[in-house]
Amino acid sequence: MNKIIKKNINFVNQDIDTTYPSTTYKIYNKLKKSLISGDLTPGTKLKIDDLKKKYQTGTNPIRESLTLLIADNLVTKIDQKGFKVSDATQEKFNEILKTRIWIESIALEESMKNKKNIDEWEEELIVLNHRLQKAERLSTYEPENLDSWEMIHKKFHLTLVCRSESSFINKFCELLYDQNMRYRYLIKKKKSYKKRKFTVEHKGILDAILKRDINKSKSLLIKHYIRTSDFITLNNPLFIKK
């Protein structure tokens, strides 16, 4: 019988408590990786029997994992018909972008206004930005490798907005990050996207934060997200329905 699973979320990574690893935990992470990386494409039906064979396990761990992924908005329950990979539409991406700008603008401002341990926070951002510059940006998604560019990038962005003193905002920021990351991986093979000057954009945001310029920091963060939005919209893959 599987142990009870609960999500233990902090501002860096959205994790399930792994003190007592379980089948559900392992399957959840494997499925989530396939969903975010685009290996499981939008609209694909997720059949329980097929997943049982693939992961060599029973019905309950599969259903528990899919239920967790529904909460992440990566899987959709179809009435009386099982589960499917959540659709990825331009409309949904626009909503993700709009919500992310709203939430993270507030979170970044509150993080910069929060004077408690602000020097340590700024130092952590400097270190993360340095690691980002040194890390090789690969086309593969490896969430298990915390030294990969993608996971350092995630930690950098979530650290930017982690000091609002609202655990709800922190959790929502991470959910929105993962949703945005999924769309990025749907266009990951586009060569022009790889040429984007992420280093310059991240350094600009960091420099504004170090100058304690709240308005400029927010403005540069929003521009950073809008550049991603413009590229995804321009290169809308065929499997993202308009």
Cα–Cα distances (Å) from 85 to 15, 18, 38, 116, 199, in that order, read 20, 25, 10, 42, 32
pLDDT beyond 90 at 154: yes
CB burial class (10 A; 0-12, 13-18, 19+) of residue 134? exposed
Same fold, 7-85 and 90-234: no
Can you tell me the distance from the alpha carbon of 24 to that of 46, in angstroms, rounded to the nearest whole number? 16
Can you tell me the distance from the alpha carbon of 145 to that of 131, in angstroms, rounded to the nearest whole number? 14
pLDDT beyond 50 at 4: no
Can you tell me the distance from the alpha carbon of 235 to that of 214, in angstroms, rounded to the nearest whole number? 32
Can you tell me the distance from the alpha carbon of 22 to that of 174, in angstroms, rounded to the nearest whole number? 23
Rg (CA), the chain: 18
Cα–Cα distances (Å) from 207 to 60, 74, 105, 211, 217, in that order, read 49, 34, 17, 6, 8
76-96 tens-digit pLDDT: 999 877 999 999 998 999 999
b/e sequence 208-217, b meaning 16+ C-beta within 10 Å: bbeeeebeeb
11-25 tens-digit pLDDT: 444 444 443 348 888
The domain covering 90-234 belongs, at the CATH homologous superfamily level, to GntR ligand-binding domain-like (1.20.120.530)
Among all chains, which residue has been given the structure tokens 């962005």?
Answer: 157
105-139 tens-digit pLDDT: 999 999 999 999 999 999 999 999 999 999 998 88
pLDDT beyond 50 at 3: no
pLDDT beyond 80 at 208: yes
Confidence of residue 192 (pLDDT cuts 50, 70, 90): low
Q: Compute φ and ψ for 129, nearest 5 degrees.
A: -65, -40
Structure tokens at 217: 């920091």
Structural domain boundaries of the chain? 7-85, 90-234
Average pLDDT, the chain: 87
Can you tell me the distance from the alpha carbon of 209 to that of 112, in angstroms, rounded to the nearest whole number? 7
The helix/strand/coil state of 36 is helix
8 Å CB contact between 160 and 108: yes
Identify the residue with better confidence: 193 or 94: 94
CATH number, domain 7-85: 1.10.10.10
Question: What pLDDT score was predicted for residue 17?
Answer: 45
Q: Compute φ and ψ for 51, nearest 5 degrees.
A: -70, -35
29-88 tens-digit pLDDT: 999 999 999 999 999 999 999 999 999 999 999 999 999 999 999 999 998 779 999 999
Angle at 227 between CA 185 and CA 202, to 5 degrees: 90
Cα–Cα distances (Å) from 221 to 75, 161, 182, in that order, read 29, 11, 19
